Amino acid sequence: MKKVLISTWLILLFYSSVFAQGKGEFKIYPNEKKQEVWGIGFEIQSDAIGSGNTGLPEDSIVSVPYGLTVKERERFAKEMLKGFRFCRVAGGLYWRGTDQEQKQLQPRWSTQLEEIKEMMDLAGVEGVSLEYWSPTPYWKANSSYLGTSDKDIYNTLRCFGPDFKDDPIYKGDTTRFLQEFAEACVNDIKTLQQAGIKTVQWGLQNEPWVSNNQRYSSCRYGKAEDYVTAYTATASKVRAYDPSILLLSDTETAFPRKIAVGMHRPEVADLVDAYAVHTIGWDSESVKKVGKKIEEELPKRPWFQNEYEYLSGEATPERCLNNVQHIMNSFQLVGNPTWYWIHALKPFKNSEASGYSLGFWKALNSEKKEMNEAYQRWQGGPEIQEMSAEFKAMEFVNVTRKSAKKPGRDFNFILGQETMVYLVVDQHGDYVPEDKWIKTNKVIKREGGTDVVYTCILKKGKHQIPSHTGQKDETYGAPHALFLDKTGHKNFALEVGVNSPMKIRSNAMKLEKAAATMKPGHWIYNDYNWNAVGSFIKHMPWNSTVLKVEESEYNKDARILVFERPNGKRTIVISNRTGGDYDFTIDTQCSSKSKWKVYRYTPYDRGENSMGVKMGIFKGKEIKATLPHLSWEFWEEK
C-alpha cells in the first residue's frame, strides 16, 4: 500500500470541521442505457524532450520504456498500464526518426518500436492513436519539425507555405503534393503495422493552431480551410487503407473549429468519425459547456478530449479530485466514449513532470544527484541566501512569476487551523501590505535583494494573499511568499486549489527525496494523478455502458457516475470535494438482495495494488453513504 506521509483520515477530518455537511438524493434507471465507454487512453514519452517542453535533444535517448531496466519495464506494463485500451503516439515528436529523405517516420534507434510493442503486449493495450505533432521535415515549408515563433508562416505544411508556387519539385501543384503526403501518412501506419503495432485511431495534426519558437514539434494551419483540405486528402487515404481506423479531428481547444468549417460538406463529414478537443487542466464542470457547444453547432459525432494534464504547477490533492470528477462528468454528463490522460511516465528532471505524469522515472544513465534543499524566493527564481533559523521549521509556500512587467500574482488557500503566518514582501515600489499585516524586524536576503517580513494570525478557513502592486519605472515587485508556523499543530493542513500557482515546500521536498534515493532505470507513482486515473483503470472495464441517473439537486462538487459492466453487473462511483462530509442517498432500482462491494480512494491512499481501500460489503436496493471531503468510492454490484 502506497501512502503520502501525512495521515489521510486526519486531513479529511480537517475539511469536515471547516465546511458544513451536504447531502443529495439520486435515482438510477438500470434499463435506460447511454453510451458505451470504449476504455481509457494514455500517451507515452517514447523519445526525449527538453525540460519545460523546450527542445528535441538528439544526443541522448530519454525514453520510456527504453530508460527502464528489464524488470521495471515489466512492472510498468503490468502494474500501471494494464487496463488502458489506447496508447497515444506523438508522430514527429516522441516518434520522430525519419528515412534519408525525411519523408517517412522511422525508429530513431533500432529498437524503439520493438520496445513500444513489447510494452503494449505486456499491458494488453489494444492499439495506438497516431496523431502528428508535425509531419516529417520533407512535408514542411520550413523543412523542420520546429518553428521559430507563434506566427511562423513557414512552420506549416509545404503546400501552404508562401513560396510553394516556386517549389522546385511540386511547382505549386497542391493536388499532387497532398496525394503524396497522404500516401506517406499511410506508410507510417504500415511501419507501425510491420512492427506489430495496431493503429486504431488516427489524427492529422495535434493542436493545428500552434507554432512556437524551437520548443517542440508543431505544424500550424493558419486557415481552417487549409486544414480541411489536408485532412480530407489524408483521411480518405487512411480510410481506403484500413476502414476500421477511427478518424478524429481536430484537437483544438474546447471546440473543433478547424474541421467545423467543412462539416456541411458530405465528402468531409464522412471522414470524421469523432471530434477530439483539448480542455487541458480545466475544471471538471467545464465539460458541460464544451459538450453543449459541440452538440448545438456540429453534426452529431462521438466526442472526447484526448490530452488531459496541468500545464504548470504540481499535482495536488485538489487536482486529484478534479481529475476524478472530470472523468466522471465526461462519461455521465456529456456522453464521451473515452478519456485520455497525457503521460504515463515523465523523467524526474523535467519541470513539467508533476502536472503531466502518472509516475516518474529515472533514466538508466542518470548520475547520482543530491537533494536540492534550496529555498527559491519564487518558483524558478533566485535562492534565499539568509533567513532566520526559525523559518526552516515552518511550511514554506511560493508562487510563479511570469513577468516583472505585471504585478506579482495573488493567490488563495484554505487553512485547517488558526495559524501564525509570515509574509515575505519585496520592497520594490515602496509597497506596504494592508493594515492587518504587522511589520517585523526580520529580513530575508536573496540573490539580487533583501525582502522585509510581515506577520499576522490567520483564522481557519479561506484566505487571499493580494498581488504585489508596487511599481517602479516599468517593473513591479516580486509576488509574495509565505512561511506558516506549524508549532502546536500536530496535523497541519493546507489546501491550495485546482489551478493554483502555489508550491508547498513539504510536497516538493518529498519528490526531491524520492528522486535522490531512486535507482536508475526505476519508476514510482505520481500519487495524486495516478490515484485518480488508476482507480478507473482498475474498476471500469472496456465496453462498459453508462446508465441514466437523476439528481434531486445538482451539486458540481458531489458527483455520481453509474455504468453497467460487460458482465451485466453495475458499478456506482461517487465523489466528494465539497469541503465537508457529503451524504449520498441512492435509489438503485435493483433487487433488495443486491450486494455491493465498496472500495474507497483518497489522494493519499489507493489501497493494495491500487484497488482502493476495502470498506466492506453492503446489501440492499437503497445505498446510503457518507463521503469525507477529497474522497471517492466505487460500489460494485456482486
Q: 507-537 burial string, b = 16+ CB within 10 Å, else e?
A: bbeebbebbeebebbbbbbbbbbbbbbbbbb
Averaged over 257-271, what is the pLDDT?
98
Q: What is 39-134+176-214+224-361's CATH number?
A: 3.20.20.80
pLDDT value, residue 510: 85
Residue-averaged pLDDT of the chain:
94
Give the global pTM: 0.92
Q: Residue 42 corresponds to which cell in the numbers above?
A: 494514455
Residue 352 scores a pLDDT above 80: yes
Single-letter residue type at 189? I
Query: Quick one: which of 191, 253, 257, 182 has its CA closest to 224?
Result: 257
Instruction: Tell me which residue of 359, 363, 364 sits closest to 44, measured CA to CA.
Output: 359
pLDDT beyond 60 at 241 = yes
The sign of the dihedral angle between the CA atoms of 308, 333, 600, 634 is negative
Q: Are 197 and 113 in contact (CB under 8 A)?
A: yes
Report the alpha-carbon distance of residue 166 to residue 174 in Å, rounded.
12
pLDDT at 19: 54
Interval 113-134: pLDDT, tens: 999 999 999 999 999 999 999 9
Better pLDDT: 496 or 218: 218
Q: How confident is the model at residue 3 (pLDDT cuts 50, 70, 90)?
A: very low
Architecture of domain 8-33+547-637: Sandwich (2.60)
pLDDT band at 14 (very low <50, low <70, confident <90, very high): very low
CA distance 81 to 38: 16
pLDDT of residue 72 exceeding 80: yes
pLDDT digits (tens, 9 = 90+) for 76-100: 999 999 999 999 999 999 999 999 9
For the chain, residues classed under CATH 2.60.40.1180 are 8-33+547-637
- Start-end of CATH 3.20.20.80 domains in the chain: 39-134+176-214+224-361
Q: Specify whether the CB–CB gap between 437 and 456 falls below 8 A.
A: yes
The pLDDT score that the predictor gives to residue 20 is 63
Could you tell me what percent of the chain has a pLDDT over 70? 97
| Chain segment 508-559, per-residue pLDDT in tens | 888 888 888 899 999 999 999 999 999 999 999 999 999 999 999 999 999 9
CA distance 596 to 153: 59
